[in-house]
């Protein structure tokens, strides 16, 4: 190679756009960017579009802030400075490419409707640039798991049956570009760059300090939790996963949402080991739950309108447009007088997370017993969950409300008292979140039986009218 050609390569700049893929392991965009000969310019852009409908809520932004800090530290160890920007990525990326003189950009794809539009807008403007995009956030690229008629699946079981057979994790690349420990970083200051705290991810009133007690965002923590879960908890997952008072699930949802670890990594590490027959069903069950995550993302990709509208059109005008504020407030603050509901809503408020079984119970109570539109619940979860995820949240709410893909039938209404007798018999979970619990002092804001009957009656009337 001629000298000036070699020099040109060494001076070349590759932009590495981090989105929600805050990890170095199993990150193809990072691996490709860091194997280029020249310098690497890692960037993160906080989208400040005021019209964004599902702008991440406070708990999720708290996680994002700390996860970025952790990513930045890891990049620094390898010689790179993560640069932060706030604004419209559609305008900022072309500007960053021009100002830095970069001729290559790498990123891992996201599949939510606004992210897909954004990618399209950016690519249209990068005609002279070499763009490398990767599908690493999911097990399969949305649109590639279809039924015999080449249509999307609307039921989980056949979707997963098809996907599970195709699942081949042997090729998972767990390397962290070990060939180059130090990477040549681009260190000049750029016009629009700002500091991490200027992204304004943390609310000023510091309510989020409490979350530090429960979570450590970042790739190192994700890997540690995954290892611990595999060692101590997975063999009992099948049974323990439904008991909210025990540590029976992985609590990896926010780590997965922010791409600090991938589903492929988790599955790879499980399947590369042989398990005793007593644990095999639990391992498979955990993999199936990751399948639900996959299903929710594929469903959102096929049906982007479902973030705001029921999948089943029978339910589009089913719930009143305006909720009864008093009831909604009581539900949000954990003051419904129904112990399992109040315990769940307080766990959510305190920790930014809620056990899956309890998510189903509180969602059923809101949409059926209180007769409030699922979107009000989805928005509350969106603002309060550290793992708030547009695809999983939409699917979860529509599933419980009875109006989504593979939904529980509307008339299957969770009885919050029966649920306690099955999953929190000794009231350990309730008492841990409601220390003041005393059976006689709890008067529900609605009569659970009557409100259930009213919900069923409404269903009959609405369906009868069609």
Interface contacts to ligand FAD, rule CB under 6 A = 241, 249-253, 256-257, 289-290, 292-293, 296, 356, 359-360, 363, 381, 385, 387-389, 392-393, 396-397, 400
Task: Quote the longest CA-to-CA distance of the chain.
Answer: 86
CA distance 437 to 453: 27
Least distance in Å: CB of 147 to ligand FAD? Answer: 20
Cβ-count burial 267-306 (b if 16+ within 10 Å, e if not):
bbbbbeeeeeeebeebbeebbebbbbbbbbbbbbbbbbeb
Nearer to ligand FAD, 269 or 356 (CB): 356
Taking the least distance from each CB to ligand FAD, the nearer of 54 and 437 is 54
Q: Which is nearer to ligand FAD, 41 or 260 (CB)?
A: 260
- For residue 86, the cross-strand partners are 46
* Chain Cα centroid distance, residue 215: 15
**What's the per-residue H, E or C state across 398-463?**
HHHHCCCCCCCCCCCCCCHHHHHHHHCCCCHHHHHHCCCCCHHHCCCCCCHHHHHHHHHHHHHHHH
Minimum Å gap between C-beta 159 and ligand FAD is 12
CB of 419 to ligand FAD, least distance (A): 13
Pick the closer one to ligand FAD by CB: 250 or 264: 250
Q: What are phi and psi of 147, to 5 degrees?
A: -80, -175
Tell the smallest beta-carbon distance from residue 109 to ligand FAD (Å). Answer: 18
Q: Which is nearer to ligand FAD, 219 or 387 (CB)?
A: 387
Residue whose entry in the numeric block shows the structure tokens 């490419």: 97
Residue 360: CB minimum distance to ligand FAD, A? 5
Could you tell me the smallest distance in angstroms from the CB atom of residue 438 to ligand FAD? 29
CA distances from 157 to 162, 163, 260, 291, 409 (A): 9, 10, 28, 10, 16
Q: What is the DSSP letter of 102?
A: -
Do the beta carbons of residue 54 and residue 144 sit within 8 Å? Answer: no
Q: Parallel, antiparallel, or unpaired for β 83-87 and 104-108?
A: unpaired
Helix (H, G, I), strand (E, B) or coil at 174: coil
Task: Pick the closer one to ligand FAD by CB: 292 or 459.
Answer: 292
Residue number with CB closer to ligand FAD (78 or 255)? 255
Q: Which residues contact 325 (CB under 8 A, 6 or more apart)?
A: none
| Closest approach of ligand FAD to the CB of residue 122, in Å | 26
Least separation, in Å, of the C-beta of 246 and ligand FAD?
12
Query: Collapsing DSSP states into helix, strand and coil, what is residue 14?
Result: strand
Looking at beta carbons only, is 106 or 363 nearer to ligand FAD?
363
Task: Give the nearest distance from C-beta 260 to ligand FAD in angstroms.
Answer: 12
Q: Helices 339-351 and 416-423 sit at what angle, rounded to 10 degrees?
A: 70
Which CB sits closer to ligand FAD, 295 or 318? Answer: 295
Smaller CB separation from ligand FAD, 125 or 288? 288
CB of 286 to ligand FAD, least distance (A): 6
Q: Is 150 left (phi over 0), alpha (psi -120 to 50) or beta?
A: left
Minimum distance between the CB of residue 344 and ligand FAD, rounded to whole angstroms?
11
> Which residue has the closest beta carbon to ligand FAD?
396
- CA 34 to the chain's CA centroid: 27
Find the helix packing angle between 277-302 and 156-166, rounded to 10°.
Answer: 110
Q: How many other CB atoms are there within 10 angstroms of residue 80's CB atom?
A: 24
Decide whether 125 or 240 has the Cβ nearer to ligand FAD.
Answer: 240
Handedness of CA 24, 25, 27, 30 (dihedral sign): positive
């Amino acid at each position: 190679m001629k000298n000036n050609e070699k020099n040109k390569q060494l001076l070349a700049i590759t932009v590495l756009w981090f989105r929600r893929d805050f990890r170095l392991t199993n990150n193809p965009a990072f691996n490709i960017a860091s194997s280029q000969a020249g310098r690497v310019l890692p960037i993160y852009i906080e989208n400040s579009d005021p019209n964004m409908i599902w702008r991440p809520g406070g708990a999720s932004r708290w996680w994002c802030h700390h996860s970025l800090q952790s990513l930045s530290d890891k990049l620094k160890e390898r010689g790179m400075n993560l640069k932060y920007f706030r604004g419209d990525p559609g305008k900022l990326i072309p500007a960053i490419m021009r100002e830095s003189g970069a001729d290559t950009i790498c990123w891992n794809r996201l599949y939510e409707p606004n992210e897909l539009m954004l990618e399209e807008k950016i690519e249209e403007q990068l005609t002279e640039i070499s763009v490398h995009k990767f599908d690493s956030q999911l097990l399969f690229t949305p649109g590639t798991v279809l039924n015999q008629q080449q249509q999307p699946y609307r039921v989980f079981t056949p979707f997963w049956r098809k996907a599970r057979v195709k699942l081949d994790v042997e090729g998972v690349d767990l390397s962290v570009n070990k060939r180059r420990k130090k990477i040549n970083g681009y260190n000049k200051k750029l016009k629009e760059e700002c500091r991490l705290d200027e992204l304004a991810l943390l609310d000023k009133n510091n309510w989020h300090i409490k979350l530090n007690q429960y979570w450590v965002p970042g790739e190192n923590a994700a890997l540690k939790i995954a290892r611990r879960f595999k060692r101590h908890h997975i063999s009992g997952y099948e049974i323990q996963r439904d008991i909210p008072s025990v540590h029976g699930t992985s609590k990896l949802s926010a780590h997965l949402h922010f791409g600090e670890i991938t589903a492929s990594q988790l599955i790879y590490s499980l399947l590369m080991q042989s398990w005793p027959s007593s644990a095999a069903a639990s391992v498979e069950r955990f993999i199936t739950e990751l399948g639900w995550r996959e299903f929710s993302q594929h469903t959102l990709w096929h049906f982007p309108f479902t973030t705001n509208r029921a999948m089943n059109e029978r339910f589009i005008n089913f719930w009143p447009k305006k909720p009864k504020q008093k009831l909604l407030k009581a539900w949000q603050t954990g003051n419904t007088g129904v112990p399992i509901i109040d315990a769940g809503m307080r766990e959510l408020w305190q920790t930014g997370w809620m056990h899956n079984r309890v998510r189903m119970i509180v969602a059923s109570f809101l949409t059926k017993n209180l007769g409030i539109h699922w979107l009000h619940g989805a928005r509350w979860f969106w603002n309060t969950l550290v793992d708030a995820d547009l695809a999983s949240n939409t699917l979860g709410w529509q599933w419980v409300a009875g109006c989504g893909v593979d939904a529980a039938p509307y008339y299957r209404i969770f009885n919050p008292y029966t649920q306690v007798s099955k999953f929190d018999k000794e009231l350990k979970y309730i008492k841990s979140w409601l220390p003041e619990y005393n059976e006689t002092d709890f008067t529900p804001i609605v009569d659970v039986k009557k409100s259930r009957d009213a919900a069923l009656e409404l269903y009959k009337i609405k369906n009868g009218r069609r």
